[in-house]
Amino acid sequence: MRDNPNEQLPVVDESGNILGAVTRGHAHDGSKILHPVVHLHVFNSRGDLYLQRRPDWKDIQPGKWDTAVGGHIDLGENVEKALRREVGEELGITDFTPESLGHYVFESQRECELVYVHRCVYDSDIRPSTQELNGGRFWSADEIAENIGRGVFTPNFESEYQRFFAKKNE
C-alpha cells in the first residue's frame, strides 16, 4: 500500500480559507504549500492517551508513534466531516464527542499543514485499521514523557503534545 501522490488536497491560508488545490505529492515535496489536516487525541477516562503506529509505507514519518488520528481534509470537505471520516477509517469509532482545541500551522522540511486539533475521552473498543495503521495502544503521561526526544514519536506529535497536554500532566 502507498499514499496516492495524485490525490487532490485544498490549498488554504492560515485562517483556513480555500485558495486552490494541490496534489498530495506536491504538498509533500518540500514546496511548503499550506494544506489542512485534522487531528484527534483520544484519551481514556484514566487520562492515558491512545497513539497510532504509522505503517512503514507512509511517505511521512514511517514507523513512528503518532496522534491517534491524523488525516488530510479532502477538497470540498469541512473540518467536522473530515474528522469523523478519518476517525471512522483509522480507529473504527463513530460515537465520539470531539472538543476543538483550535488550529495552528505546522511546518517540517517536507510540508506545511494547517492542523485542526481535537480531543475526546473514549472508553469503548478501538479497532485500528489494518490498512491505514500499524496498530496502536494507550500510553500513560509518564511513558510519553520518558520517550519524548528519543525518536519514538513523530516530531508533529511531540510538539502538539507539549503545546496542548504536557503542562496539564505535570
Residue 158 domain flag = yes
pLDDT value of residue 167: 64
In the chain, the number of structural domains is: 1
Length of the chain: 170
Predicted confidence at residue 75, as pLDDT, reads: 92
* CA–CA gap between residue 154 and residue 57 (Å, rounded): 15
Look at residue 126 in the predicted model and tell me its pLDDT: 95
**Using alpha carbons only, what angle is made at residue 109 by residues 108 and 112, rounded to the nearest 5 degrees?**
45
User: Residues in the chain with pLDDT < 50?
Assistant: 169-170
117 belongs to a structural domain: yes
Q: What is the mean pLDDT of the chain?
A: 93
Gap between the Cα atoms of 56 and 134, Å rounded? 8
Residue 46 placed within a domain? yes
Q: With respect to residue 93, please indicate whether it lies within any of the assigned structural domains.
A: yes
Residue numbers of the domain that contains 148? 8-169
The candidate with the shortest Cα–Cα distance to 119, out of 61, 47, 15, 12, is 47
Structural domain includes residue 3? no
Query: What distance lies between CA 60 and its chain's CA centroid?
Result: 12
In a domain, 108, yes or no: yes
Which residues on neighbouring strands pair with residue 40, listed in sequence order? 69, 118
Query: pLDDT value at position 164?
Result: 94
Judge whether 140 lies within some domain. yes
Quick check: is 2 in a domain? no
Q: Three cell numbers at 170?
A: 505535570
Name the helix (H) or strand (E) containing 148: none
Report the CATH number that the domain containing residue 117 is assigned in CATH: 3.90.79.10
> Cell numbers at residue 34, please?
499550506
